[in-house]
Structure formats: C-alpha cells, structure tokens
C-alpha cells in the first residue's frame, strides 16, 4: 500500500504531462489519458525493433507482441545459423524490451486460428503485422515433390529445432552429392552446415538430432548452383569468405565462368559487394587448398545453370539428379538487370539431396490485401493499403514491417530502419488523432486480448514461460558443452513453459 502511495505523485505527474502532450498535439484530453494500445504480430527482429521504437517514441504506448510459437525471436532463433552466435546476441536487447512494464509477450497465439485480424483491430488502436515469411518460393518445375527435395527454410528450421520441422529427417546417408539451388546467404548457410567439421558444430546450439544426422552423413560434395554468373551471386563477402575458408573443403570453380563481360564490369563498378564477391571467387578458383582433415569434402560453385526438372532415381520416388539448362546473361530493358536466358543446352547433375534456396515467401491472412507476385502486403511507409491498385486507400490502424512489408531480403539490422519507418507512420497517425478518435476509446488492448484468448481456451505462453524454456535449454546445453540444447517439439515447449 505504502509503495502504491509513493508511486502516485509520479503517476499523476505523468498523466498531466500526457494530457499536456495531447493538447499540443491536437487530440482530446480523454484520448491522451488513454494508452495507445498496439499489438505487434510476430516476435522476430522486425517485431521487437517495432516494439522498442514504439515504447521509446510514445510514453503512453502499451505494446503486446503475439507469436504463433511459444518461443520469441523468430528468425534469430530458427533462422540464424548455429555457428553464427554473434548474430544472436541481439536477443539480449529484445529481452530488455520484453521486460518493459508496458510490453507483454503472448506466445502460442496464431493469427487466423486463435484470433482473427478483425478481432485484433477491434481490440487495439494499432495492429502491426511483423510475422515475416514462413513459406518458400517455388520453382514450379516437374519433379519438385520427389523425396530428398526440401526447401532451405525447412532444412534450416530442422537443424535449428523449429517445432514444425523437428521430424523432417532429411536423408543424408543415401548419397554423396547434394545440390543447393540458389547462391544467396541462406544457400551458403545450408552448404556450410553440410560441409563443416562436426567437431566445430558440436559446441553450437545446433539440435542434437541434426548433429547426429550430420555426423552420420555421407555427403562429400555440395554443388551451389546459380542461374547467373559469379558477379551476380547473391551472397555477401563475409559469408562467402567464411565458406571458402572451411578447413576440410576443396573449393572448385571453373575458370571459364569467371570471364566477365562489359556489363559485368559495369555492375561491379556500381556495387562494392558484387566486386568483393567476384574477387573472392576468383581468388578461390586459383588458390591451392590446405587439407587438415582426413575426410576431405568438395564445394562446387556452378554458375550459369538453371534447373529445368528433377529426375527420379532408380527407385522412382527419390530425387536422383537435377536437369540443368546452361544460361547466358541478357540485359533487361525494364529493370536494367542482367537476366539468365536459356541456351538450349542441357546437362544432368546427379545428387540424392536437393535444397532449394531461392527465397522465402510470406503468407497472407484473411482480411488483408496481399501482393501475390512480390509476396508482400501493399503499404505506404508501413501503412497497410486496401489493395495494390492506384486507387487503394489506407487501412486505418493497420501497419506492416519486416519481410512482410519489403520482401524476404536483408539482415537482422535492416529491420531496425524498417521498424523506424513503420513506427514513424504510427506516431504520425496518432498525432493526427486518427488512431484514438473518441469512438475508439473503448479499445481494451491487453485486457481485451486476454479475455478473447481465455474465452477461446487458448493457452498462451507469457514471457515468463519463455524464460522457463530458456533456462531449461541452457541447463541441458551445459551438460553437452553447448550454449543450449533446444526443446524442439510443441509438447515439450509447452510443458517447459508451464513447469
């Protein structure tokens, strides 16, 4: 009681300053006293940066973050490679955001199943969609559903212990050759995990089942296949340097593929990253490689080849080869990019495992406009638009951030700038009185969300539940000299959260 009384003058002072702020910003005193209830859907980097910037930028904001997983942090937990622990340090910053008294986490809550978009919009002044890209682009070529073909996302989720993929069991024992389609950083991640010495992976947070499967793996050759040339490889220099430096791996690059055209030279003059990538590949093509490990492996960079179809092995149901068409580059007048065009020459690349790493894809939810071609929600600086057409109107109180806003590109930090833009749009709308008009004052925010979830019997996992999971994983990890041993099943996660 005494504590409450001590806090009272400060609370009154804060209320007064909020009211004063409301007066100067031109919205009603009643609205200023009302918290700005915001729900962020998705707890990856885009979601947490949005929450952080909202809490810092608006002292009356109350932010609830919902996520369909019982665990927070999205791609930082299930996307970032286990041998990149430095990239995961950002979760400390996100945990401090979650610890803010004006922020709450509701794990195990699925938009579209446990709660609809219209329910969220009725409950909050602003809803920010930050649920990322949980599906994959498809090649749309024959044989894509053969056994042994996975998207890179599925493979990444598997080794990172995402509960949707813990049963993937990719067969790493039936073949010596794996083909990775695409040459972006995700392609490099999955190739590196296949090739890296297992002793180096053993002390990371890779799941134990993945480590066992990789230990027993017979894969000795990984082919990274790009439809364009070394100048257009989509990876970045740091990641390329890392894979080129793997200690037991011989890198194979055809010198003929390194010949550049005037258009390539022009691209490299305009992009430092492309020039660095090209230089690293050129250096690797000619450099002799030290072999320190007995089980030497090979990494082949295959350029100017596009997949045409997957060919079954003799058993008929598993992939046995990828048919590739040789390509050449042609400038596109509209985009100015050099595009791959087929030459009519074909060849088969034998393999027993294919990882398609051609990009992630976002999924729409009911009640939301969606640009199917780009896989994004149409938006104006993060404000969701009613459609993709020129006559589209702004959906009041609905925002988007991260990969769902701009497509599946960029590193963790890219989401900070993206979140700042979306938060600026929210604050602009709030200042204009768009979000907390008198008719909207009855939005119940957090209390309303809890009521809906309880009515529907949804057992959400609060941040304290995640902390229990976290602690259990870290304890299990200690026994194996790992940062953590991830809990990988839905049941296991829910049990740990409730213990």
Residue 185, marked binder: yes
Neighbours of 271 (CB within 10 A): 14
Q: Which of residues 61-100 bind ligand NAP (CB under 6 A)?
A: none
Using an 8 Å Cβ cutoff, are 125 and 36 in contact? yes
3-class secondary structure, 380: strand
In the shown chain, the binding pattern of residues 299 to 318 toward ligand NAP, with x for contact by CB under 6 A and - for none, equals -------x------------
Closest approach, Cβ 208 to ligand NAP, in A, equals 23
Check residue 58 for interaction with ligand NAP (CB under 6 A).
Answer: no
Closest approach, Cβ 14 to ligand NAP, in A, equals 41
62 sits in which H/E element:
strand 61-66
Rounded CA-CA distance 280/352 in Å is 29
- Candidates 43, 151, 183, 425; binder of ligand NAP (CB under 6 A) is 183
Residue 284, marked binder: no
- Candidates 136, 189, 205, 430; binder of ligand NAP (CB under 6 A) is 189
- Candidates 410, 433, 462, 492; binder of ligand NAP (CB under 6 A) is 410
Closest approach, Cβ 483 to ligand NAP, in A, equals 18
Closest approach, Cβ 458 to ligand NAP, in A, equals 31
Residue 148, marked binder: no
Residue 111, marked binder: yes
Residue closer to ligand NAP, measured from CB, 182 or 375: 182
Closest approach, Cβ 239 to ligand NAP, in A, equals 5
Rounded CA-CA distance 319/177 in Å is 11
Per-residue buried b or exposed e for 290-309, using 16+ beta carbons within 10 Å of the residue's own CB:
eeeeeeebebbbbbbbbbbb
Count of residues binding ligand NAP (CB under 6 A)? 25
Using an 8 Å Cβ cutoff, are 416 and 50 in contact? no
Closest approach, Cβ 412 to ligand NAP, in A, equals 8
In the shown chain, the binding pattern of residues 212 to 251 toward ligand NAP, with x for contact by CB under 6 A and - for none, equals --------------xxx---x-x-x--x------------
3-class secondary structure, 36: strand
Rounded CA-CA distance 87/82 in Å is 10
Closest approach, Cβ 194 to ligand NAP, in A, equals 15
Q: Which of residues 346-405 bind ligand NAP (CB under 6 A)?
A: 357-360
Residue 46, marked binder: yes
Residue 320, marked binder: no
Residue 338, marked binder: no
Using an 8 Å Cβ cutoff, are 107 and 466 in contact? yes
Of 460, 356, 442, which is closest to residue 136 (Cα–Cα)?
356
Residue 20, marked binder: no
Closest approach, Cβ 449 to ligand NAP, in A, equals 31
Rounded CA-CA distance 270/58 in Å is 40
Residue 168, marked binder: no
Closest approach, Cβ 356 to ligand NAP, in A, equals 8
Of 159, 171, 192, which is closest to residue 320 (Cα–Cα)?
171
Residue closer to ligand NAP, measured from CB, 185 or 318: 185
Instruction: Measure Cα distances from 136 to 139, 358, 363 in Å.
Output: 10, 8, 9
- Candidates 181, 322, 418, 487; binder of ligand NAP (CB under 6 A) is 181
Q: Name the residue number minimizing CB distance to ligand NAP.
A: 184
Rounded CA-CA distance 387/263 in Å is 37
- Give all strands of the β-sheet with 249-253 in edge-to-edge order: 149-151, 353-356, 177-181, 221-225, 297-302, 249-253
Which long-range contacts link 262-268 to residues 24+ away (Cβ below 8 Å)? 263/329, 263/331, 263/338, 264/229, 264/231, 264/329, 264/338, 267/231, 267/232, 267/338, 268/231
Check residue 52 for interaction with ligand NAP (CB under 6 A).
Answer: no
3-class secondary structure, 6: helix
Check residue 187 for interaction with ligand NAP (CB under 6 A).
Answer: yes
Binding residues for FAD, as ranges, are 46, 75, 111, 403
> Known binding site: residues?
46, 75, 111, 183-186, 227-228, 239, 403, 410
Residues annotated within the binding site for NADP(+) are 183-186, 227-228, 239, 410
Q: Which residues bind ligand NAP (CB under 6 A)?
A: 139, 181-187, 189, 226-228, 232, 234, 236, 239, 306, 357-360, 408-411
């Amino acid at each position: 009681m005494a504590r409450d009384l001590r806090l009272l003058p400060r609370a009154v002072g804060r209320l007064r300053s909020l009211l004063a702020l409301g007066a100067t910003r031109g919205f009603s005193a009643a609205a200023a006293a009302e918290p700005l209830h915001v729900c962020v859907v998705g707890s990856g980097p885009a979601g947490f940066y949005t929450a952080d910037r909202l809490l810092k930028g608006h002292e009356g904001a109350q932010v609830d973050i919902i996520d369909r997983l019982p665990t927070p942090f999205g791609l930082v937990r299930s996307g970032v490679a286990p041998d990149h622990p430095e990239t995961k340090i950002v979760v400390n910053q996100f945990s401090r955001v979650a610890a803010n008294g004006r922020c709450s986490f509701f794990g195990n809550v699925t938009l579209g199943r446990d709660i609809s978009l219209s329910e969220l919009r009725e409950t909050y002044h602003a809803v920010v969609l930050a649920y990322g890209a949980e599906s994959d682009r498809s090649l749309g070529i024959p044989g894509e559903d053969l056994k042994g073909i996975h998207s890179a996302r599925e493979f990444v989720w598997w080794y990172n212990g995402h509960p949707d993929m813990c049963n993937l069991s990719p067969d790493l024992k039936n073949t010596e050759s794996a083909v990775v389609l695409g040459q972006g950083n995700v392609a490099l991640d999955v190739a590196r995990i296949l090739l890296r010495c297992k002793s180096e992976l053993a002390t990371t947070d890779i799941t134990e089942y993945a480590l066992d499967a990789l230990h027993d793996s017979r894969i000795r050759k990984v082919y990274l296949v790009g439809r364009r040339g070394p100048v257009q490889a989509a990876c970045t220099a740091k990641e390329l340097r890392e894979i080129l430096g793997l200690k037991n791996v011989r890198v194979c690059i055809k010198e003929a593929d390194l010949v550049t055209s005037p258009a390539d030279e022009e691209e490299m003059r305009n992009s430092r990253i492309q020039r660095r990538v090209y230089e690293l590949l050129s250096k690797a093509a000619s450099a002799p490689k030290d072999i320190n490990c007995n089980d030497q492996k090979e990494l082949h960079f295959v350029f100017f080849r596009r997949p045409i179809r997957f060919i079954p092995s003799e058993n008929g149901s598993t992939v046995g080869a990828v048919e590739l068409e040789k390509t050449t580059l042609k400038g596109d007048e509209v985009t100015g990019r050099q595009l791959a065009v087929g030459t009519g020459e074909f060849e088969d690349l034998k393999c027993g495992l294919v990882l398609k790493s051609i990009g992630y894809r976002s999924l729409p939810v009911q009640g939301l406009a969606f640009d199917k071609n780009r896989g994004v929600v149409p938006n104006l600086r993060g404000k969701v638009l009613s459609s993709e057409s020129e006559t589209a109107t702004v959906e009041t109180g609905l925002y988007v951030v991260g990969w769902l806003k701009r497509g599946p590109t960029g590193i963790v930090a890219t989401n900070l700038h993206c979140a700042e833009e979306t938060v600026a749009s929210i604050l602009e709308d709030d200042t204009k009185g768009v979000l907390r008009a008198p008719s909207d004052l009855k939005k119940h925010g957090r209390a309303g969300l809890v009521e809906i979830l309880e009515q529907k019997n949804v057992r959400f996992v609060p941040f304290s539940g995640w902390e229990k999971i976290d602690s259990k994983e870290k304890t299990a990890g200690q026994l194996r000299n790992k940062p953590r041993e991830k809990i990988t099943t839905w049941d296991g996660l829910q049990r740990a959260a409730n213990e």
